[in-house]
Structure 1
């Protein structure tokens, strides 16, 4: 009996082991299928079918998009968007220009101070110095690429002497550039206002530039007298400043005896020679006006200075300088006025009700170095000590017989002919 029980127990244990093994295998197989087919047998077929359908739909859509009609529509839309984009860019450019003009206008002084320095405390008594030199503008070669190329070749340290000339002043022009060459000044340029002057300068190896054709300007340049040409120069000069060059603007009735660039201060927007003939008239004085009818208050003090000469001045490429040229050119275009008078009014008249003055720094040149012909013929030639001085330039601005006096100045200072100036009267013979 014991043997039978033992056999039955063994059979039962073997049977339990088989069941456990079967369960384990089932669980293992289930795990494997769960890993390999996470979505089950039936869903995988449907997903595959959906993917197949999606690919078919995409292919159908792609083929339809490639149709000629839709491509044409897309091209038309693209052209419309491109045109709109170009128009928007143009509007943005115009707005930027207006913003720049506004900034350069009423807020210009404030912005320049902010750009140059942070707010500072005032120093001890007697040590405080105000801002004198305005910053130069950023050069813009797009204004005149051809002129920019010429200036890059001729100018020295971004500075150049510029004169405008037409055939009316050809003899004086020859004395003008002969004296410049004699001194050895390399950076000078003639703006030819007609073809004859262009050819004349080329024949004499004189740097020359002729503007693009402009009927209004050409008519003045070819036939205009001295005052008409003088008015024209302010419009032309603007481009030089926009290109970032400082200009020593010169009339042609001037004899050069030294290099003027060695005698400039460059601390102002405009540095000009004076029409004054002594220290008071050239540099300013307190003139007392007497009105007896006012009794105790009969004496009124006035500040006076003789005008700057608009035929010889050094101008830096700054915003106030360009504004000065714009103001002068605009007034001369609408008023029957003398350019030298307008030049001085815009430089000196202060702001007052109904008028905003120009905020430009200015300097008067030494009247014995940058000499006008009144100083020379009325004073210097009669003084043995002053005759020993050698001016930088002599401007024959006070006398109508310009050419013979220019030649005499050249003979006296260059060739050493001591009596070359003696035959001329102090003033002109006109009454």
Structure 2
């Protein structure tokens, strides 16, 4: 058996031929690829336009949404700012309401008024320098309360102050002495509240400023026919309008003789500044009165504070919230307790402190100098008998301790105005029953 053997040449030739073919095929493939690459740089199936359009559309959507989002954000920001401002206002109102509720629950109306005046809290100063609040702020005037009275007061009052007296025909003679003394001194700011037509006509004929109230069935019957105490009780009801209109009032009974202008001698540092029924330093300004109870043994002595009452027939009252509350309290009690004496109620409301079941009035008060604003006990029992005191000229003399008012008023005028030295001598210290 013959075996075919290939020589070296044959083997090399075959290998060379196959390699050449492969090289040619590769070359042709490369050439074709170059041609296609040249002719179709983006490939046979070019998706670039589609992608580009999608990208462009997407970019457009992004741009549009960006604009919309920007406007939305701005709108939300504006709403947020507005809500924040409202929230601040609401928080402030809530804080204020919470504070008011707290004060109301504790019954600390005066504390609220002091906070309004003092503003922010302060630290206490050095020893001996600390002073508490004494003068309450005046109310905001409200002319709608009584427009007719407001016009009268605008003409009559001086520095928002005036003397006011109530009178009916029962006190006509005393009223004439009263306003004659005022005119003699030259006091311009005074007003008579006429409780009937006779007094209104008298004042008009004497060129006396007068105010005739509108009819009020609730109190007019008392005003027309009531006695001295009945008429005196009405003043607490009537004076309220004066204070609401923003005027300070020096309330005066008609059994008073004016010898100087009282407005030159007021301090105006309290809600109420009143003359006293006291007759010396102790009774007028207060003293420590020791009560003795022997059965208590070691504790037999009890110290008490005493002061004689304020006279409700002559006091200066400022237009403050405590002052108006005082008038309301006294007028309310007098309407419920017709047998009560207005001066007693006036002092109880001014002085009684808060205690279980009762809320005291938080009003500042001042006692007038009893030698300047003199009651008739001081004059007839002490002053007229003292060589030095008799030389003193008081601002007013109030004939409150004596029932024979008119002759004593005339005697005061004779003594202090006309210089008649023995004008006061005929009268006893007290009164004949």
TM-score between both structures, scaled by the size of structure 2: 0.75
Q: What pairs with 1:266-285 in structure 2 (closer than 5 Å)? A: 266-285=268-287
Question: Equivalent residues in 2 for 1:235-250 (5 A)?
Answer: 235-250=237-252
Q: Which residue of 1 aligns with 2:348?
A: 345
- Name the residue aligned to 1:116: 117
Aligned match of 2:235: 233
1:94 aligned residue: none
CA–CA separation in structure 2 for the residues paired with 1:122 and 1:111: 19
Query: Partner residue of 2:307?
Result: 305
Matches within 5 A, 1:375-390: 375-390=378-393
Q: Return the index of the structure with the highest Cα Rg.
A: 2
Aligned residues: 332
CA RMSD of aligned residues (A): 1.7
Q: Matched residue of 1:123: which SS?
A: coil
Per-residue CA distance 1:267-303 (angstroms, 9 max, x = gap): 0000000000111000000000000000000000000
The question of whether the paired residues in 2 share the 8 Å contact of 1:320 and 1:359 is answered with yes
Match of residue 398 from structure 2: 395
Counterparts of 1:215-226 in structure 2 under 5 Å?
A: 215-226=217-228
Partner of 2:71: none
Question: How far did residue 115 of structure 1 move?
Answer: 1.6
Aligned partner of residue 252 in structure 1, secondary structure? coil
Match of 1:409 among 409, 412, 418: 412
The answer to whether the Cα contact below 8 Å between 1:288 and 1:299 also exists between their aligned partners in 2 is yes
* CA distance in structure 2 between the aligned counterparts of 1:138 and 1:197, rounded to whole angstroms: 32
Once the two structures are TM-superposed, the CA of residue 103 in structure 1 deviates from its matched residue by 7.2
What corresponds to 1:40 in structure 2? none
Identify the residue that residue 363 of structure 2 maps to in structure 1.
360
In structure 2, list runs of 5 or more residues that go unmatched.
Answer: 1-99
SS of equivalent to 2:183: helix
Cα distance in structure 1, aligned partners of 2:218 and 2:195: 12
CA contact (8 A) 1:104 1:319 kept: no
| 1:162-201 aligned within 5 A | 162-201=164-203
Task: Give the Å deviation of 1:105.
Answer: 10
Give how far 1:425 is off: 0.3
Tell me the CA shift for residue 106 of structure 1. 3.5
> 3-state DSSP class of the match of 2:127?
coil
Taking the aligned partners of 2:106 and 2:414, their CA distance within structure 1 comes to: 49
1:152 aligned counterpart, secondary structure: helix
Question: Does structure 1 residue 213 correspond to structure 2 residue 241?
Answer: no
What is the aligned partner in structure 2 of residue 419 from structure 1?
422
Give a deviation string over 1:73-107, Cα, whole Å, max 9, x none: xxxxxxxxxxxxxxxxxxxxxxxxxx99x979944
Match of 1:146 in 2: 148
Partner SS for 1:276? coil
Q: Show CA shifts across 1:322-374 (max 9, x none).
A: 00000000000011200000000000000000000000000000000000000
Give the direction of change, closer, same or farther, for the CA distance of 1:105–1:387 in structure 2 (3 Å limit). farther
Q: TM-score, normalised by structure 1?
A: 0.75
Deviation at 1:216, TM superposition (A): 2.4
Distance 1:340 1:110 in 2: 28
Distance 2:317 2:117 in 1: 21
Q: What SS class does the counterpart of residue 379 from structure 1 fall into?
A: helix
- Cα distance in 2 for residues equivalent to 1:110 and 1:352: 17
Aligned pairs for 1:62-81 (under 5 A) are: none
Match of 2:334 in 1: 332
Q: Secondary structure at the match of 2:251?
A: strand
**Aligned to 2:326, what secondary structure does the other structure show?**
helix
Deviations 1:297-330 (A, max 9, x none): 0000000000000000000000000000000000
Shift of 1:113: 1.8
Report the Cα distance in structure 1 between the residues aligned to 2:113 and 2:318, rounded to whole angstroms. 15
Query: What SS is found at the alignment partner of 1:190?
Result: strand
Runs of 4+ aligned residues of structure 1 deviating over 2 Å after TM superposition are 102-108
